[in-house]
Amino acid sequence: MSIVKEVLLRKLKIMINDIIIAIDGHSGCGKSTTAKKVAEYLNYSYLDSGAMYRSVTLYLHRNEIHYEELNKIVKALENINISFKYVDGEQNTFLNEENVEKEIRSEKISDLVSKYSSIPEIRKFLVHRQKELGKDKKIVVEGRDITTVVFPNAEIKVFMTANIEIRAKRRFEDMKRNNPEITFSDVMKNLEERDVKDSTRKDSPLLLTEDAIIIDTSELEIEDQVKKIIDIIEAKFS
């Protein structure tokens, strides 16, 4: 990063010391990586809401609680605690004090998460927790209902999208590091199904708000995505 950009960011940090940056959009657009870097540049906290849904899914799957067993799910939520801690410089997800960062990114959990995440009781449970984590602001949050349900009054709202084949390629490259047997067709099918479920679920569907700024990441590298968001913030607060 250039010295000029570093100076601008220092000024930016002073001007925006108490805002919420909410990033919504489709799976595989680079939301997580981009949000992490924006948070790092601004010295903000970072919240991966998707990791929270994956953690709940993992807990219920481990305990053999089917997504149609609502009474068991509601009771199980009482025993779930999700937190984030840094390990070797990277933010990891902890489920009841166990590091589950790798396991929640597995193909199995990816296949199941949309089934559990559409359950209103689970969404209510996690939205409450997410609001708690963001009450002091100075946070970058990403997910798929962040700008509409969790933080509808966020000062900065971004909606990220990209061509589905490009999204599938990115997700495939990311997932095969932990799961060498996964195939590109598996990832593509999973994304197609998740897009449909995310946009058609009755509770908190994925929507584009009128005040969100769209970023198409199809032809953008991560640093370009970060720069676009920083530019949006600078334009609003300069």
pLDDT digits (tens, 9 = 90+) for 79-88: 999 999 989 9
Predicted pLDDT of residue 201: 75
Please give the model's pTM, rounded to 2 decimal places: 0.83
Domain boundaries, the chain: 18-222
Phi first, then psi, for residue 45 (nearest 5°) are -75, 160
**DSSP track, 117-155:** HT-HHHHHHHHHHHHHHTTT--EEEESSSIIIII-TT-S
Q: Residue 5's closest CA among 233, 230, 232?
A: 230
Cα torsion angle, 48, 49, 53, 56, sign? positive
Span 18-27, average pLDDT: 91
145 contacts 208 by C-beta, under 8 angstroms: no
Asked if pLDDT for residue 104 goes beyond 70, the answer is yes
Predicted pLDDT of residue 5: 64
Predicted pLDDT of residue 199: 81
Q: What is the rounded average pLDDT for all residues in the chain?
A: 89
Higher pLDDT, 95 or 42: 95
Asked if pLDDT for residue 14 goes beyond 70, the answer is no
pLDDT band at 1 (very low <50, low <70, confident <90, very high): low
Higher pLDDT, 181 or 70: 70
| CATH code, residues 18-222 | 3.40.50.300
Helix, strand or coil, per DSSP, at residue 21: strand
